[in-house]
Structure formats: structure tokens, C-alpha cells
Chain A
Amino acid sequence: MNSAAGYTRVAITLHWLIALAIFANLALGSLMTEMAISPQKLRLYSYHKWLGVSVFVLALARIAWRLTHPPPALPLGLRPWERMAASVSHALLYALTLAVPLSGWLFSSAKGFQTVWFGVLPIPDLLAKDALLADFLVAVHGNLNGLMVLVVTAHVAAALKHHFLARDPVLARMLPLVRRGG
């Protein structure tokens, strides 16, 4: 049960799992697209897609949990623009954790490559192979990722500002293993 002071363990776990998966996939995505074709490249593309589907599934769980378990209130003394920035950036992050993997999956289908999650669960292609559509969707996937990087950077900067400058509990309460005070 969510206390007024803190996030649930589920919310914290999902937050960091998704964060780690996103960082790993950004790294994989940058690396794999630079490689010349090789067995390693094929493997990295597969791992990237498996991780992407996992992010999507975890994001669905995260959103479902959030809708049923309201987060703790923002600290008092936050100015209106700070409250607005928090709401907008969080909403964007939720939306992007769904939109980025979706765009990747659609792009892959348009390229003619189905996604088979962990090599065992085939995910049906919504789109048929289409070179022009693929060109458009690769740009969508790239731009959404660019937006993700911007919002995550702002998100991390804000968390550090709250912790080190404002000295409020905003960051601490999202950290696992931190003692929960009264």
C-alpha cells in the first residue's frame, strides 16, 4: 500500500528495470547500426528487439500500477512551473516508453523482419514489407529516441537538483534500499 511518504517497492523496481533496459537499448541501438553485417550484428539486433518488447511490457505494467497506486505528493514549496514540468516530463516518459518500442516494432515489420520475442514468441507483423514506409518509420523511431534522450536528461537533472540543491526527498524516495523514515 502506498504511503503518503513513499513509492511502493513495485513502482521502484519497475522504474529502475525500465531505466536500465532503456539505457542498454540506447547503447545497443547506437552500436548495432554502425556495424558491418556479421553474425554479431544479427545477434545484437535480436537482443535489441527482445529488450524493446520487454520495455513495452514493463511499461504497460508500470502504467497499470501507477493508475491504481497514486504516487506520493510533490514536496510543498514547489513553484507552479516546477509542478507543470514534473507532470509534463513524467507524462512524456510514460508515453515514450510505449511509443519508442512500438515504432521500433512497426519499423522492423516494414523492413520485412518479424519480431520473435526471446527467439520463441513470434509477434505478428501489423505492417507488410514496404520500403517507403520503412524509411519513414526509421526516422520516427530515431526522432522518438532523440526526444527520449532529452526528456531523460531533464528528468535526471531535475532529480539531482531536488536532491543536492533543494535537499528534498524526491530522489531518495525513488531509490531502492533507502530506509523509509516516518
Chain B
Amino acid sequence: MRLPVLCLPVLFIGMLTTGLPVANANPLSLDLTRSQVVFVSRQMNVPVEGRFQRFSAQIQFDAKRPEAARATLEIDTASIDAGSPEASAEVIRKPWLHTAQFPKAIFVSSAVKSLGGERYEVSGQLTLKGKTLPLAAPFTVKSQGGSLIFDGALTLKRLDFGVGDGPWNDPDTVANEVQIRFRFVAK
């Protein structure tokens, strides 16, 4: 009979256009000149700011479907500016980031949820100095001139990843908690 045969292509087209969870939107293109990954460490309770100068991020985000968002961040660990030339030279060494053996720090998201309004939270895993641990960070998304601005912050415990080992593991000299702030501008 005709009807059942015709059903198949109609059904097939119908499935493609509705309901199926498709990977949403194309990945956004990052504007590296306006993006940053900054951190603040407290040394003898003095806040010292630093940053990673080279990184890349793949972000897929659609405000209408935040739970389908994805993010991958790859940081070139040797690109660190730790606030002074002396500190930067020290912090790439083995007790710290050991960048010769671990040239990349990578974050891969596993879930994004809406917190209401422009606020969201991303969860995922961070691989740093060879250790992989779960991580979550709240962030906001704002729209500006055709671009999306993702702003977020979190506190990381450096000793969880063995960063600042040996004589440096005294948290009174360099605090365990490191505050990280990120901004990704993408379109």
C-alpha cells in the first residue's frame, strides 16, 4: 500500500527537524585579544596577580539551551606570567607547574546549568600537572556588539594538583587557595 511506504520518508524528515538532541550551534570563535585567564595568589598575605598569556578555548553556547553548552579550555602552562620575572622563571620548574613535562593544562566541561538570569555554572574536569580533578565555576554571559562575553571565577587549591611542592607547600608563605578569573569573548 502507498501510505505506509510514504510514512517512512516523512517520519525520517520529521525526526531530523524536531526533538532529536542535536549538538547545538557552531563552536564560537574566540577573540584572544579581549580574553584572559588571570589568577591571584597570596604570598605572605600579599595578593599577587598573574596570568596565562597563551590559551585556546572551544565554546559552544546557546542561551536558549544552556544544558547543551560545551567548553574546552587548553592553556599553555609555560606562557605563565607570575607577576615578576623571578617568579615566572621559578614557577615553570618542577616543584611548581613543571611545564617541561606538563606543557598543557586542560579543562573539559561535562555539564552547564542555568542559575537564573545571565548566571550559569559549568562543571567539568581540570587536568593540571598530570592530575585530573573535578571543577565547577559560576559564570555570566553578556551580549555586546555581536559578541558573547563569558566572565567567571573560581578558587582552586594548588596543592591538590601538587603545584608548589616540597619547601613551597607551606600555605602560610604562598597560600593554597588561588583565585582564578577568566573572561572569554567570542562570537
Asked if residues B46 and A39 are in contact (CB atoms below 8 Å), the reply is: no
Specify which chain B residues have a CB less than 8 angstroms from the CB of A29 in the assembled complex.
none
Q: Of all chain A residues, which has the CB nearest B90?
A: A37
Which B residues lie within 8 Å of A31 (CB)?
none
Contact A114 B84 (CB under 8 A): no
Given known pairs A38-B167, A39-B168, A39-B173, the reply for A111 and B44 (CB within 8 Å) is no
A139 within 8 A of B: no
Q: A111-B84, A112-B83, A112-B84 are in contact. Are A39 and B48 (CB under 8 A)?
A: no
- The CA-CA distance from A67 to B174 in the complex, in Å, is 43
Complex Cα distance, B83 from A35, in Å, reads: 18
A50 CB to nearest B CB, Å: 9
Interface: B45 (CB within 8 A):
yes
**Is B49's CB under 8 angstroms from A116's CB?**
no
* Contacting residues, chain B, for A112 (C-beta < 8 A): 48-49, 83-84
- Tell whether B87 is near chain A: CB-to-CB under 8 Å: yes
Residue of A whose beta carbon sits closest to that of B168? A39
Known A42-B43, A114-B47: A37·B170 in contact at CB below 8 Å:
no
**Per-residue CB proximity of B55-87 to A under 8 Å, as 1/0?**
000000000000000000000000000011011
CB distance from B179 to the nearest CB of A (A): 15
Q: Which residues does chain A contribute within 8 Å of B87, judged by CB atoms?
A: 37
Asked whether B170 lies within 8 Å of A39 as measured between CB atoms, the reply is yes
CA distance A42 to B83 in the complex (A): 14
A120 to B44, CA, bound (A): 10
Report A-chain residues with C-beta under 8 Å of the C-beta of B44. 42-43, 45-46, 116, 119
- Of chain B, the residue at the smallest CB distance from A46 is B44
Contacts A39-B170, A43-B173 given; indicate if A113 touches B45 (C-beta within 8 A): no
Interface residues of B (CB under 8 A from A): 43-49, 83-84, 86-87, 89-90, 167-168, 170, 173-174
A interface vs B, CB < 8 Å?
37-39, 42-43, 45-46, 111-116, 119-120
24 residue pairs bridging A and B, Cβ less than 8 Å apart = A37-B86, A37-B87, A37-B90, A38-B167, A39-B167, A39-B168, A39-B170, A39-B173, A39-B174, A42-B43, A42-B44, A42-B173, A42-B174, A43-B173, A46-B46, A112-B49, A113-B46, A113-B83, A113-B84, A114-B47, A115-B46, A116-B44, A116-B45, A116-B46
**Known contacts A42-B174, A112-B84, A113-B84, then 4 further A-B pairs from the complex at CB < 8 Å, ordered by chain A residue:** A42-B44, A113-B48, A116-B44, A119-B45
